[in-house]
A and B are shown apart, each in its own frame.
Chain A
């Protein structure tokens, strides 16, 4: 298990390093990074001061070292807007996104598994058509438009839900989650449906049936258990992709999470905050990928055995 984990950690570290280095390289590519940090109307003197204070006049290698040690200490400098530590701002926004993403993924998995199984049991039936409609919508409807449509119908025309913010308690969760859920639920439904159709046609299901196992037991214990690993892999990718949706949904609904922080940082040209938000996202993706690998190893008997043999 440890050998397996060590290898996975090393391969997942690569993207994290690429992001951290990428931000540095991109920022230096533009020439003097003070242009990124300071507002456009800053005086030449202010630029020089800032440049000296942050070590931008030092050689590139020592700048890289400074930057890397800052990343390790989660020190990205202070926000231009608020004067607060950028890392603190990002860490404060992070739980809001995490809650939103966790609830969304949970609901998406439930819906995806339920509709997907139902569709697999009755191919070409009603559930099957619902599932293909769901996945088609998920792949074609822009989430920002769906969010606006939701605000228009439920907040403006019917007046039952708040337009934005988190003040309305449970009600303020409804629209963001509904919009965010669509894509993962649609994709998962298709994956579960496909995996279940092939699992239900396999010999071990026939064996279970011929031994007299009830339909519910066959579906839940035998077929679903074997359909789970591919769904889990896809769910992991979807969770990473949820960040894309979170940026859009949070900035429309005024959700105080990392996505909104990111867009605000861009629109107000606050580079330190941008860096911190990107780094925290990259780190959480890294953790998520490892968690998915462990889950996969626990679910799939073949991987579990190989892991056991290697350790």
Chain B
């Protein structure tokens, strides 16, 4: 989680300590969209950790007198500001509890696939040769198949639980990091400083850890932020289809599915949880494009000049992911 909440802290390999940190914060302020996104993601993280306590009983115990309560009125306390469902449970409370479930799937998936994909990728790229070929072939096979289809088969055979969802989503996302890490480390291992380290007899594991990893990390963090959105959408799709998070647990995708039948009378049950997904993914995407610019020494100046001059300076050709 910390990886995603605090990209301003993302280590710049060559930056000195204190002034650099102040710089990162100022660069975040220079991009209002990224700043707001960071705040929203912090709020989501906070709710994911403390949501269950904050929501209290209103998310679990329904008050049937409040059944089908319309949203956007404070008459029944802040918990019912987003209305209530058929059983009179507070929608806001359920959203907060669902945040925890959703994040408890998404964050482990991103972390697991990041760690495994990055380690194998750097290892394969550093050693080249047959190890690289085998790793890349396996990644190609996984990537060449629609992830949802793969998840569907696996979740049929092993009944859907949080652990199996995490496992299958992590497997489908590993190749993304593996490819990125391999490409960068294959290029880095030809550089002079790696040669120097090798000449001094540094073991290959240490070269990867000390010399290659710090340089690959910013790219990997950008990929991870974008991937965060992808995994969130995948988790909600699975839950929506009924093969992800199972009731009585609740996730955002599942809430959209559960509210679907009441669309005619209580649109908010389905529409608002979906909006929560959109707000979170848009924030992560905006932040990701900020991280991409901020960690790129050639583009960083864009965050230190006023917006108008930046626009005049010509188009940015962003790499598509």
Interface residues of A (CB under 8 A from B): 11-12, 14-15, 18-19, 22-23, 26-27, 29-30, 36, 123-124, 128, 136, 139-145, 148-149, 151-152, 156, 187, 190-191, 194, 197-198, 234, 240-241, 243-244, 247-248, 251, 262-263, 266-267, 269, 271, 274, 278, 281-282, 285, 289
Known contacts A14-B137, A274-B153: does B145 contact A248 (CB below 8 Å)?
no
A145–B152 touching, CB < 8 Å: no
B315–A197 touching, CB < 8 Å: yes
- Say whether B320 faces chain A, with CB atoms less than 8 Å apart: yes
Known contacts A18-B141, A244-B149: does B267 contact A152 (CB below 8 Å)?
yes
CA separation between A309 and B152, bound complex, in Å? Answer: 44
Which residues, 187 to 246 on B, are CB-close (under 8 Å) to A? 226, 229-230, 233, 236-237, 240-243
Which chain B positions have C-beta within 8 A of A234? 320
A190–B318 touching, CB < 8 Å: yes
A–B complex contacts, Cβ < 8 Å, 19 sampled: A11-B140, A23-B153, A26-B154, A36-B156, A36-B157, A128-B315, A139-B281, A142-B237, A142-B278, A144-B274, A145-B271, A148-B274, A198-B317, A240-B146, A241-B146, A263-B242, A266-B156, A278-B153, A285-B144
- Say whether B248 faces chain A, with CB atoms less than 8 Å apart: no
B144–A139 touching, CB < 8 Å: no
Binds A, one of B3-11, B17-25, B40-48, B256-264: B256-264
CA separation between A141 and B229, bound complex, in Å? Answer: 9
B320–A243 touching, CB < 8 Å: no
- Tell which of A19, A124, A194 touches B320, judged by Cβ atoms closer than 8 Å: A194
Interface residues of B (CB under 8 A from A): 137, 140-141, 144-149, 152-158, 226, 229-230, 233, 236-237, 240-243, 253, 256-257, 260, 263-264, 267, 270-271, 274, 277-278, 281-282, 284-286, 311, 314-315, 317-320
Residue of B nearest to A132 (CB): B318
| Interface residues of chain B: helix, strand, loop or mixed (majority) | helix
A145–B256 touching, CB < 8 Å: yes
Known contacts A14-B141, A198-B317, A274-B156: does B281 contact A262 (CB below 8 Å)?
no
Minimum C-beta distance from A90 to chain B (A)? 13
Known contacts A26-B153, A142-B278: does B145 contact A136 (CB below 8 Å)?
no
- Tell which of A15, A152, A187 touches B141, judged by Cβ atoms closer than 8 Å: A15
A148–B253 touching, CB < 8 Å: no
A266–B157 touching, CB < 8 Å: no
CA separation between A142 and B286, bound complex, in Å? Answer: 16
CA separation between A281 and B314, bound complex, in Å? Answer: 44
